[in-house]
């Protein structure tokens, strides 16, 4: 807790949310591990019912979406997200920005209720660039060690993106109907 304010600092919130996502990922951890490539192939075969949030987190980390304020290369990441949401029939759109290879991704799950305000799950796909010499692991590998995911974006915010997606994609595959539209936005720059 921060001194005298009775609130958590941003770092404490990120650490706590990372622990929650880490616990969820540990619960979903399947023996075997992941392939150590820098970029996953576009358009993976997706079974949202058996979607592993840990694997999805690692797959997201493997996209180098880093930048120092000029906007990262997020189109390949957005294309992966699109393929997964398309597999369950969501309305999807990749929205380019003026910067080449930089785009927002939106998935909308419509409900039968038209007058209810939608629920927005706001995420971002970009990450701050790294100083490689300060890392003990490849920051874009998504290494799992002792129940923790190490990689750029594990806490902010690809781990959270994966948790949101895994839960929603599973509900959609199981036929869940929501009482309002659900919008998943992976913004290209927080």
**What residues are labeled active site?**
126, 190
Kindly report the number of other CB atoms within 10 A of residue 1's CB atom.
9
Phi and psi dihedrals of 26, rounded to 5?
Answer: -60, -40
Residue 27 is encoded by which pair of tokens?
């619960």
Three-state helix/strand/coil letters over 88-135: CCCEEEEEECCCCCCEEEEEEECCCCCCCCCEEEEEECCEECCCHHHC
Q: How far apart are CA 56 and CA 131, in angstroms?
A: 24
How far is the CA of 69 from the CAs of 27, 66, 127, 155, in angstroms?
35, 9, 10, 19
Specify the 3-state DSSP secondary structure of 42.
coil
């Amino acid at each position: 807790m921060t001194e005298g304010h009775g609130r958590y600092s941003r770092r404490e919130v990120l650490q706590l949310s990372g622990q929650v996502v880490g616990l969820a990922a540990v619960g979903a951890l399947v023996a075997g591990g992941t392939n150590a490539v820098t970029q996953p192939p576009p358009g993976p075969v997706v079974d949202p019912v058996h979607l592993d949030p840990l694997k999805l987190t690692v797959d997201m980390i493997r996209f180098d979406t880093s930048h120092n304020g000029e906007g990262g290369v997020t189109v390949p990441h957005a294309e992966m997200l699109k393929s997964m949401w398309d597999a369950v029939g969501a309305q999807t759109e990749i929205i380019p920005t003026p910067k080449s290879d930089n785009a927002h991704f939106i998935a909308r799950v419509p409900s039968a209720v038209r007058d209810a305000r939608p629920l927005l799950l706001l995420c971002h796909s970009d990450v701050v660039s790294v100083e490689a010499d300060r890392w003990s692991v490849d920051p874009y590998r998504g290494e799992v060690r002792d129940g923790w995911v190490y990689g750029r974006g594990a806490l902010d915010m690809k781990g959270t993106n994966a948790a949101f997606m895994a839960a929603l994609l599973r509900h959609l595959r199981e036929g869940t109907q929501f009482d309002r539209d659900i919008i998943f936005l992976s913004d290209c720059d927080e």
